[in-house]
Structure 1
């Protein structure tokens, strides 16, 4: 029986290059980091609520190092992946971890079902996966601006994103014994499209599509800027939403 490879939507090379640039940008004092900060805080709150004190933990994607530091302070042995060489689609050592946390990385893999299966295999019995990712309800104003920029023949510039129902189905396919998917919103005010793009680049959330579109021309960029600001409130700010999905799964 023929096995089909998943479609190549994302470029791992472009994603890693963006993450390397992130580490340089984060050396600047005013670099944005609110998406990762929110994800880290949420994970710590969930662990406290569940009264979970894991002994062996794998942390994937947290370029701030904050989560691992906190978990080590509570006595856990923590392994961290290097975001500069991260490959979520590669197999992991099996059965080693009581907890695996993946932050802002699973949303840009070509074989998401396969990546979830690898994560499940790496969990010990009764181990837990907590995976946070940018969800489909995100960046509606940016999407409208990109469509307005090229109304006749728009290029693919925005990532496809996973919604709540699809995430639940993926967790079931990955054979987690129990699974829960929930979402929350992080709202941020922007004075311009350029500031939003800067924040996305600061946080490694820029495009990593396999087919990189050409840069917007001057006229198209101006149309995008105008369309973005058309959604501004009476203070001249555009409220953009980042939907954060959190996938929680238990292994038998």
Structure 2
């Protein structure tokens, strides 16, 4: 259901853009559902994914996000759903997106970011004691994502997030949701498996924190990115120090000496 929420949000953001897009590249989760919607809007859709099974089923291109095999200026819209945080070279992938977009092309992306599953992480850390290991792959926070967009040479970058408050009645369902979204540890140097003893402690802590409602409270933060390929006609930020109004005065609502 995370991908369904991201698809709906991406479509809403796309509706707010007063532009007509003709050729779009879709990468990652829920590509088929999103692609069908964009095809209804008259767009030519190309799919790409690192999964051979998924890419083949969609008639798409099998490739990694940081090795997109497309010519310069191939797309005026690129949408990445849920996979940017799982690749080796994120700055390189963003720079590559900039290269294969036409000038003033739009990049939209969504994925689960840091500050997610904090309750479960704290339970696992408490259960493992002084032998803590990574069981959920490293995640990106909002500030870092915004910096990476600018570093890749993309313009007008915006990174914002939406927090989902969830309640689980079983530990198995929570872990299943994480695995289904590809959120378990995918690093080459895998963490050791959780022992049966530690697993029992985790279950006990989960049950204790579920009282008195019988539900374990968890939160997931979805991160959304928006940025444009450079173009001479895009708005430019005002030079530093050129402002004529006092921000302090504006925020206070009164005169300042």
1:97 and 2:75 aligned: yes
CA distance in 2, matches of 1:129, 1:100: 5
Distance of 2:80 and 2:210 partners within structure 1:
34
Match of 1:155 in 2: 133
Answering whether residue 158 of structure 2 is matched by residue 177 of structure 1, we say: no
Which residue does the alignment assign to 2:239?
A: none
2:19 and 2:205 mapped to 1: Cα distance?
Answer: 46
1:5 paired residue number = none
User: Residue 19 of structure 1 corresponds to which residue in structure 2?
Assistant: none
Which string of whole-angstrom CA distances, capped at 9 and with x for unpartnered residues, describes residues 150-196 of structure 1?
Answer: 10211222222111111111011001121111100122211122111
Structure 1 residue 211 corresponds to structure 2 residue 178: no
Distance (Å, rounded) in 1 between the aligned partners of 2:211 and 2:77: 42
Query: Unaligned 5+ residue runs, structure 1?
Result: 1-33
Q: 1:63–1:83: 8 Å Cα contact kept in structure 2?
A: no
The CA deviation at 1:234 is: 3.2
State the alpha-carbon separation in 1 of the partners of residues 84 and 31 from structure 2: 17
1:88 corresponding residue in structure 2: 65
- From the superposition, tell whether residues 151 and 48 of structure 1 become closer, same or farther in structure 2 (CA, over 3 Å): same
The aligned counterpart of 1:199 is 177
Report the count of equivalent residues: 219
Give secondary structure in 2 for the equivalent of 1:230.
helix
After superposition, give the CA deviation of every residue in 1:46-85 in whole Å (9 maximum; x if it has no partner): 1112234311000000245110000001100000113514
TM-score, normalising length from structure 1?
0.82
- The 3 A distance-change label for structure 1 pair 185 and 41 is same
Residues of 2 paired with 1:171 and 1:213: CA distance? Answer: 30
Which residue is 2:166 aligned to?
A: 188
- Aligned counterparts of 1:163 and 1:97: Cα–Cα separation in 2: 27
Q: Who is 2:249 aligned against?
A: none
Q: CA 1:240–1:53 in 2, change beyond 3 Å: closer, same or farther?
A: farther
Distance 2:30 2:50 in 1: 7
Superposed counterparts of 1:41-190, under 5 Å = 41-63=8-30, 65-85=32-52, 86-93=63-70, 94-190=72-168
Which of 238-247 and 34-43 deviates more? 238-247
How well do the aligned residues superpose, as a CA RMSD in angstroms?
A: 1.6
Measure how far apart 1:224 and its partner are.
Answer: 1.3
1:229–1:95 distance in 2 versus 1, CA, 3 Å = farther
TM-score, length-normalised on structure 2?
0.80
* Aligned match of 1:249: 227
Distance verdict in 2 for CA 1:122–1:222, change over 3 Å = same
CA distance in 1, matches of 2:112, 2:211: 24
Identify the range of structure 1 (207-216 vs 239-248) with the bigger mean alpha-carbon deviation. Answer: 207-216
Change in CA separation of 1:91 and 1:202 when aligned onto 2, cut-off 3 Å: closer
| Aligned 8 A contact 1:188 1:240 in 2 | yes
Change (3 A) 1:230 1:209: farther
- Would the alpha carbon gap of residues 63 and 44 (structure 1) be closer, same or farther in structure 2, given more than 3 Å must change? closer
Are positions 1:38 and 2:5 aligned together?
yes
